[in-house]
Amino acid sequence: MRCAASAAVDMIDADGCRAFLVRRLHPGGGRCPHCGVSLDGRQAESFAAGGRIRCNSCKRWSTWRTGTLFHRAALDERQLFLLLMLTSLHCSIDDISAVCRLSPDDAYHWQHRISEACH
């Protein structure tokens, strides 16, 4: 069954997963993670679409992941979405590892990081 569960990553929509994550991590809309200025227009659209933006105020580069729990995570949006879902459901490390296609050590690491961030 776990082999079948590992297909979940391929079955879900990356854009939908990213949209969910962006809304959860940036509930007030996109802001520059460096100076806090609100993003608007094309920058807000690019930020929400996963693009890299350069702040008009501080001139620094960022994405929706910058300054969040998922900054520099080598996982795609689908894996991150599934990680959040499975961690919130208190699934086992073995299940998270299988579904998210992570090593058991990485699944353990992420489960703890997410649990700590959510408390």
Nearer of residues 34 and 113 to Zn ion, judged by Cβ: 34
Spatial CA neighbour of 66 closest among 51, 80, 81: 51
State yes or no: residue 39 binds Zn ion (CB under 5 A).
no
Cβ atoms 99, 82 nearer than 8 A? yes
- Residue 31 touching Zn ion (CB under 5 A): no
Stretch that binds Zn ion, among 12-20, 50-58, 67-75, 78-86 (CB under 5 A): 50-58
Binding Zn ion (rule: CB under 5 A), the pick from 14, 44, 58, 75 is 58
Contact by Cβ (8 Å): 17, 81? yes
73 in Cβ contact with 113 (< 8 Å) = no
Residue 58 C-beta: closest distance to Zn ion, Å = 3
Q: Which range, of 26-34, 39-47, 86-94, 106-114, touches Zn ion by CB under 5 A?
A: 26-34
| Residues β-bridged to residue 31 | 38
Is residue 34 close enough to count as binding Zn ion by CB under 5 A? yes
CB of 42 to Zn ion, least distance (A): 15
Q: Is the distance from CB of 76 to CB of 10 less than 8 angstroms?
A: no
Neighbours of 26 (CB within 10 A): 17
Contact set for Zn ion, span 67-106 (CB under 5 A): none
* Interface positions with Zn ion (CB under 5 A): 32, 34-35, 55, 57-58
